[in-house]
Amino acid sequence: MKTRTVVAGVAAIVFSFSISAECGQGKEKQMASKAPVVEYQSASNPQARTLSEFVRVGDMIYLSGKLGTGSDGKLAEGGIKAETKQTLENIKTALEKNGSSMDNVVKCTVMLADIKEWADMNSVYVTFFKKERLPARSAFGTSGLVNNARVEIECMATVK
């Protein structure tokens, strides 16, 4: 009698493990089928330089660093404040063109050619976001930026 009880118990455990394993495989397949779609801007733009302007992963959009250049490709004149304003206008345009907005920005990284210009950059930066929706942010000084820019900003945002 004792042997039958032990055998029945072992059989129940084996059965439970096999059911759990099958359920787990089903979840893995389900999760794999829900993997986010990744879209690279460079895939649809044969003119792309050595980077994508953005990469979209599911409901997130990751923008490459933006400089304060106008449509002519020249840096905005007037120093850090003018460059910061143009940089953020460029970010705003890129986000809106790709289904997002400044209200959806969740994280920015600010690179400054001179960290001493942080306060001047920040005085312009905060005007682009609602006070109750300020994104997380990192800022650091560099030893130089492309085109001798004073500021470069990259950001991440959700898609509307």
pLDDT (mean) for 135-152: 96
Pairing status of strand 38-40 against strand 105-112: unpaired
Considering the domain architecture, whether residues 22 and 42 belong to the same structural domain is answered as no
3-state secondary structure 20-88: HHHHHHHHHHHHHHCCCCEEEHHHCCCCCCCCCCEEEECCEEEEEEECCECCCCCECCCCHHHHHHHHH
Pairing status of strand 136-141 against strand 105-112: parallel
Average pLDDT of the chain, as a whole number: 84
CA 1 distance to own-chain centroid: 64
Q: Give the whole-number percent of the chain exceeding pLDDT 90.
A: 66
Considering the domain architecture, whether residues 113 and 80 belong to the same structural domain is answered as yes
Range of the domain at 13: 1-35
pLDDT (mean) for 28-43: 69
CA 111 distance to own-chain centroid: 16
- pTM reported for the whole predicted model: 0.75
pLDDT at 80: 98
pLDDT (mean) for 8-31: 52
Considering the domain architecture, whether residues 137 and 112 belong to the same structural domain is answered as yes
CATH of the domain at 133: 3.30.1330.40
pLDDT at 30: 54
